[in-house]
Chains A and B, each alone.
Chain A
């Protein structure tokens, strides 16, 4: 650790000089691009890190500042991963409100969506393995007439009144706890259904309410985004989220260069650093360009549906019109835009 800190300090002194040298340039982006062939990678990294310290909250930046920040990142990541990395800064599309629908009757629990997401969104692969989607295996309950008015099974002489469909030990409907680490030979299993959980992109997101530095906010297309540079890593949002959607980078992310997805977005899947929170963004680097999210495309049973909630012709709206729909923990008053449905 001391060695690292020393290096960091040394790096900042060099970069300060570089930074002031370039201060007079009309565009820092142009200067950075021109200098990239001369400066050694670690030096370049140190300089951009230093410049990032003076960066504002992404929402408060001018367009010029956004451009500079993106150019800095593109240069740093391209050097770091040895390929051309693009960082997109495109804003929300007009007249679009993203919505998601998932058919829990169709989901087979194969977890392909989990790994498609990891491949797309540059999560840390191991040692703090980060996955934005968690598929929970739920036990199928029995709803039998015999159990309708049973109390606690160990006290047959006492009545605890009618508990619809089950009792404290023999539950009906769903299991008391889901299984996260199920690993059967084949899925789906006969006695289970599967329940994928990810960020619900709430209309009233509790994570946004609690963020002390306002680095996480709701974009006009409904996506709750994070400016990773402005995040202080207090993890208040993780505590506030009722869906366990947010993940924390406890260490430096382990992202192999050959697996790194070079098409990134500033608010989405650009590589994160130690000590910041991240979460699902409905793949906004894709969806803001018109493409389905990675989890939708990979689902082998077509259980995942995605579209524009403001467009009556979109898949999601047609599902809301025709299917039986519910939202997870609707009583939390978060108004998720992630709908679960059954046929």
Chain B
């Protein structure tokens, strides 16, 4: 309502100010661009993400495997993703108990040395309290929450939950407190009110996504690294390490920047010959003269 009261003059001054600031900012950026690019060419990327950009970060540590002088990971210099694993079990904890599912794989995972990368240590967003983390405020008393589950737009915490306004899970029927615990925000909660650790989101996700959960337990959905031998030690990726539960219906997997294309054969200037049938060159395979030669 207040915006309407701002006079045109003030508005004009604001716009002008923004434009001037914008131009100045652009110029400085252009000046800095050249050396920045050179620096990027020489500097090595040692911080990289595993599967989901912005969720699982990892930094390179040298000589983790002294026998071969391996670092724990090698990062892509172009996209900032993990490209190679020296030590697959680096920074992991045991996966913990897993409920039995009644299929032929019963017992397989129980003998397995399954480890995961814990999520709970990353809950201390504000470091307000070293032990309580989110419960500092969200203990069910300090911050009130609505009793009905009707989804509504939230304005708080977009700094830590950047995609909170794009929430789309269960075609809009599910909202925050269906998965996040209202009285203990350090945990997740299932539909029967059972608290679930952030380290084991599969226990929550599997309540609805049963087929994926079973296939994940068998090892045919999802990612595992370490030993290929059935019963060998493996690091398991849990659901949220690949899928963003908030926007999973928009993108099942958040798109990534691809690694560079292979070198063209000697003498070839570009790869235009490849796009003869591509939609961009000739409509979707339409029989235009350009596409027919």
Interface of A toward B, CB cutoff 8 Å: 83, 86, 106, 108-112, 114-116, 119-120, 126, 129, 131, 134, 139, 142, 153-154, 169-171, 175-188, 191, 261-263, 287, 290-292, 294, 296-302, 305-308, 311, 313-315, 318-319, 322-323
Contact = CB atoms under 8 A, between A and B. Distances in A.
Given A83-B69, A181-B271, A313 B230 contact: yes
B51 A298 contact: no
Which of A261, A263, A318 neighbours the largest number of chain B CB atoms within 10 Å of its CB? A318
Contacts of B76: 112, 115
**5 closest residue pairs by CB, A with B:** A302-B223, A181-B271, A186-B255, A111-B259, A169-B287
Contacts of A261: 68
27 contacts: A110-B79, A110-B81, A112-B76, A112-B83, A114-B259, A115-B84, A169-B291, A170-B285, A175-B285, A176-B277, A180-B271, A181-B264, A181-B271, A187-B256, A263-B68, A291-B228, A297-B88, A300-B81, A301-B223, A301-B253, A302-B222, A305-B219, A306-B228, A311-B230, A315-B220, A318-B105, A323-B220
A318 B218 contact: yes
B173 interface: no
Nearest to B261: A181
B242 A300 contact: yes
Given A110-B81, A169-B286, A300-B51, A179 B258 contact: no
A262 B277 contact: no
Interface string B72-99: 0010100101111100100000000000
Contacts of A120: 84
B263 interface: yes
Contact of A296 (B51, B105, B225): B225
Given A186-B256, A262-B68, A315-B218, A300 B74 contact: no
Given A297-B225, A318-B218, A115 B242 contact: no
B262 A318 contact: no
Given A110-B257, A186-B257, A318-B220, 13 more contacts: A108-B256, A110-B258, A115-B259, A153-B287, A179-B271, A179-B275, A181-B261, A261-B68, A290-B227, A294-B85, A302-B237, A307-B230, A315-B230
A163 B287 CA distance: 16
A131 B230 contact: no
Contacts of A139: 277-279, 285
A119 B60 CA distance: 15
A115 B48 CA distance: 15
Contacts of A109: 258
Nearest to A176: B277
Interface string B210-228: 0000010011111111111
A322 B285 contact: no
Nearest to A314: B230
B68 A300 contact: no
B255 A115 contact: no
Interface of B: 50-51, 68-69, 74, 76, 79, 81-85, 88, 105, 108, 215, 218-232, 237, 242, 253, 255-264, 271, 274-279, 284-287, 291-292
A132 to B, nearest CB: 11
A112 B259 contact: yes
A313 B279 contact: no
Contacts of A319: 220
A175 B277 contact: yes
A287 B287 contact: no
A260 to B, nearest CB: 10
Contacts of A119: 74, 83-84
Contacts of A177: 274, 276-277
Contacts of A306: 228
Contacts of B232: 290
B69 A307 contact: no
Contact of B258 (A111, A294, A315, A323): A111
B265 to A, nearest CB: 10
Contacts of A291: 88, 226-228
Nearest to A262: B68
Contacts of B253: 106, 108, 188, 301
A308 B258 contact: no
Given A177-B277, A292-B225, A154 B256 contact: no
B229 A302 contact: no
A318 B105 CA distance: 9
Nearest to A154: B287
Contacts of A323: 220
A301 B53 CA distance: 12
B228 to A, nearest CB: 5
Contact of B221 (A178, A183, A294, A302): A302
Q: Which of B105, B224, B226 has the most CB of A within 10 A?
A: B224
Contacts of B274: 177-182
A332 B84 CA distance: 34
**Interface-centre pick from B257, B262, B275 (highest chain A CB count, 10 A):** B262
Contacts of A187: 255-258
Contacts of A176: 277
A180 B262 contact: yes
Nearest to A289: B227
B115 to A, nearest CB: 14
Most buried by B among A119, A126, A301: A301
